[in-house]
Amino acid sequence: MSAHPLIFNERVDKALADPILKKALPLTQDRLRGGRINAAEQLGNVEEWRELASQIRSHTIANLDSYLEELVTNVRKNGGHVHFAATSDDAVEIITGIAKEKNAKSVVKSKSMVSEEVHINKHLEDMGIKVVESDLGEYIIQLANETPSHLIAPAIHKTREQVREMFSKVAGRQLSDETTELTAFAREKLRQEFLQADIGISGCNFAVAESGSVVLVSNEGNARLTTTVPKVHIAMMGMERIVPTWNELDMVVSMLTRSATGQKISVYVTGINSPRQSEDSDGPEEFHLVILDNGRSNILGTAYQEALNCIRCGACLNVCPVYRHIGGHAYGGVYSGPIGAVLTPLLGGYEEWLELPYASSLCGACSEACPVKIPLHDLLIEHRKDEVEMGLTPFSEKMAFKGFGFATSHPSVYETAVKLAHSGMGFLAKDGVISKGPGMLGGWTDVRDLPQPAKQSFREWWKKEGKGRNQ
Amino acid sequence: MKVSLFITCLADVFYPKVGMNVVEVLRSYGVEVDFPQDQTCCGQPAFNSGYHKEARESARQLIKAFADSPMVVTPSGSCASMIRHYYPDLFKDEPEWKERAIELADKTYEFSEFLVHVLKVEDIEAKFPAHATYHHSCHMSRGLGLKGEPIKLLGQVEDLEMEDLPYCNDCCGFGGTFAAKMSDISEKMVDEKIKNIETTGADVLIGSDMGCLMNIGGRLRRLGKEVRVMHVAEVLAEGGQK
């Protein structure tokens, strides 16, 4: 599922050297952070809400098989088609198969991270089908030929000036920086695409098991057009994006919008129960629900199960100080930020995603912000533990921690090490400061000075002087 | 009242003065302090790096070292958080050790937490003329839920003018081995922290975790900036004890 050819360190270097990212990202991140905090304050008892939302998600995931069965039964009862895709390839085959059967020439999409996960656009385009993203942010990155860099704000890394230039190129005339003019252009352009499209592909924020409904949360109205105008509607969902009933939906949608953008509720919340019925004035003739596993079921029953509770609000990205500086693309996968660092190695394996669990200072801001209480930073530690146990860490590091374990469990060895620290590191120090260290220490001293270990450690002082003064 | 000091490896090796100041402040409130010499490190570097077998070795040693202590005080929110939150979990498959881990977790206090909640200090007689700001370290504020405690103590120090630090919830970029392993990302984080410290106009940055302070202080020094970096205990002790 790699979206980038560069290795992790190169992606980080590229991001850190990008002046536009540095300018664009913190601005929007601050706005989203502020929105979430305001929305939480309005609730008053946000911790109770988080606890309840977490229980709903945990319960649903623990009983995923039965809720999925209920969902599938009800979707079929309502006249929809259900397809299970065990892998990304299966999902592609199902969707390209429908496109072929319908002889589709064009597809319009509303925002879907699962569709990004299986790279459906590329596969449809390879068949000669025109694919148009209709979410404004997705439209921007499609024009830029990029991937989303944020779960809910895919073009968070772009500036208004960049958008103006891209839109002007498509328009064939110079557009201004005004939001209204830019969005008016996108609206006008996309309206034609909706009317022409043979198939509409949407995501699925939540599927309601009791009624077999797909619920879409959006602010631009594009999801409604995508799912009503074309003759065929395909909704793509991750197998975990399910709620038992509309009661739970109420709760989790509220947590989603409050945590994502700080809205009490999004501009549109659309529930789709079936294809067009005889009494309906509009709607697609056919409705297909593609349920994607792609590694998710392997997470069930593991220490990482809570990662499946995620409702894709992006709150963890918005509070993350690492994401703030490297942006979404540096993570390399479809999902970025803390949840991306947790999920991507689970879905794609350590071989390709070895470094991701280390792209965190373990500050815990993510876990604190998560509306469904996923212990994200603890899951990153869990990943590191698994990498160690699988023997994937460097030999020198293994030896260093072996030594650490030995020294810290043998006080006399430890005491000797502490005693020797000052003189042992003396050759590196000048005026009590180390400004260039070897090996692992070099990572520290590349950026900052390190004090030379004190001439007399605390424990030596205690033995000589400290102890005696205890009256 | 009797307490044992858990110095932490960083303060033991790099910042012994912080430990001396902790002892000094505690004694000024009539607390009897001892220092079990068998203590080493809480094991957090190994734990956070995924070496949990090694972290358990360190943890067992610390649990043994403080077995007879009625209470343990440590000048680090991060190490206290390690003990309180992760020790019981580290021994989830060893009931006997788990019990001992919980016992240590229950009697361990971070320095400001001990002063405010156990000693119930409300009358610090210290004078420290400075313009300062406070760095809320992540493990202390999120891990232990201690935000107001150090601020309350510092607020009682005469002539110490405290400024709120913008973006105070953002990590300084330390993160233990993260600072060395992902040094380029860490650099951007600490630079943003320093930029925010500078907007306060503070001459002194006060904190409760020597890891963060070693990071911020080390970067400040590298950049040739004059801001002084101090632990809460240093401010209280230098400010002239009660």
Same domain, B96 and B198: no
| B172 and B67 within one domain | no
Among the candidates B85, B100, B117, a domain finishes at B117
Q: Which residues of A touch B27 (CB under 8 A)?
A: 469-470
Q: B159 to chain A nearest CA, in Å? A: 29
Helices and strands in chain B: count of H runs, count of E runs: 14, 8
Residue A469 has a pLDDT of 61
Among residues B57, B91, B117, the one where a domain terminates is: B117
On whether any CB of chain A is under 8 Å from the CB of B189, the answer is: yes
Rounded CA-CA distance A273/A74 in Å is 9
Query: A328 with A349: CB under 8 angstroms?
Result: no
Cα distance between residue A50 and residue A374, in whole Å = 10
Q: Do B176 and B106 contact (CB within 8 A), yes or no?
A: no
Same domain, B106 and B127: no
Q: Is B29 on the interface with A (CB under 8 A)?
A: no
Top residue of A458, A461, A462, A469 to mutate, by most chain B CBs within 10 Å, is: A458
> Is residue A357 within 8 Å of residue A331, measured between CB atoms?
no
A-contacting residues in B 85-144 (Cβ below 8 Å)? 138-139, 142-143
What is A8-298's CATH number? Answer: 3.40.50.10420
Answer yes or no: are the C-beta atoms of A110 and A233 closer than 8 Å. no
In A15-54, the residues whose Cβ lies within 8 Å of chain B are 16
Contacts with B60 from chain A: Cβ below 8 Å: 409
Provide DSSP, A309-345. Answer: G-----HHHHH-HHHHHHTTGGG-SSS-HHHHHHHHH
Note whether B204 and B158 are same-domain residues.
yes
- Give the Cα separation of A224 and A233 in Å (integer): 11
Q: Is A438 on the interface with B (CB under 8 A)?
A: no
| Closest CA in chain B for residue A402 | B54
Q: Do A334 and A117 meet the contact criterion of CB atoms below 8 Å apart?
A: yes
Q: How far is B216 from chain A (nearest CA, A)?
A: 8
Q: Which domain holds residue B178?
A: 123-238
Q: Which residue has the tokens 């004059």?
A: B226
Buried b (16+ CB within 10 A) or exposed e, B52-86: bebbbbbbbbbbbbbeebebbbbbbbbbbbbbbeb
Same domain for B170 and B83 = no
Local mean pLDDT, 10-residue blocks, chain A (471 residues): 69 95 94 94 93 98 98 98 98 98 97 97 98 96 95 94 95 94 94 95 98 97 95 98 98 97 95 94 96 98 98 98 97 97 97 96 98 98 98 95 98 96 93 90 94 96 80 45
Which pLDDT score, from 0 to 100, does residue B240 have?
81
- Same domain membership, residue B111 and residue B15: yes
Specify the pLDDT at position A465.
86
- Set of chain B residues whose Cβ sits within 8 Å of the Cβ of A454: 13-16
B 154-173 → A contacts, CB under 8 A = 169-171, 173
Overall residue count recorded for chain A in this entry: 471
Q: Judge if B110 and B6 occupy the same domain.
A: yes
The C-alpha of B116 sits at a distance from chain A's nearest C-alpha, in angstroms, of 22
Q: Do A418 and B12 touch (CB under 8 A)?
A: yes
Domain end (from B117, B145, B172): B117
pLDDT of B6-35, one tens digit each?
A: 999 999 999 999 999 999 999 999 999 999
If asked whether residues B100 and B156 sit together in one domain, one would say no
Amino acid identity for residue A59 in this structure: H
Q: Are residues B111 and B131 in the same domain?
A: no
Asked if pLDDT for residue B99 goes beyond 70, the answer is: yes
Considering chain A, tell me which residue range(s) the CATH 3.40.50.10420 domain(s) occupy.
Answer: 8-298
Same domain, B69 and B160: no
Distances (CA, A) of B180 to A69, A291, B170: 49, 42, 19
If asked whether residues B146 and B220 sit together in one domain, one would say yes
CB A384 to CB B49 under 8 A? yes
Chain B partners within 8 Å of A16 (Cβ) = 184-185, 188
- What is the number of domains present in chain B? 2
> A204 CA to chain B: closest CA distance, Å?
33
The DSSP element (H or E) to which B88 belongs, if any, is helix B87-90
Residue B45: list chain A partners with CB under 8 A: 401, 404
**Domain CATH number, residue B182:** 3.40.50.1860
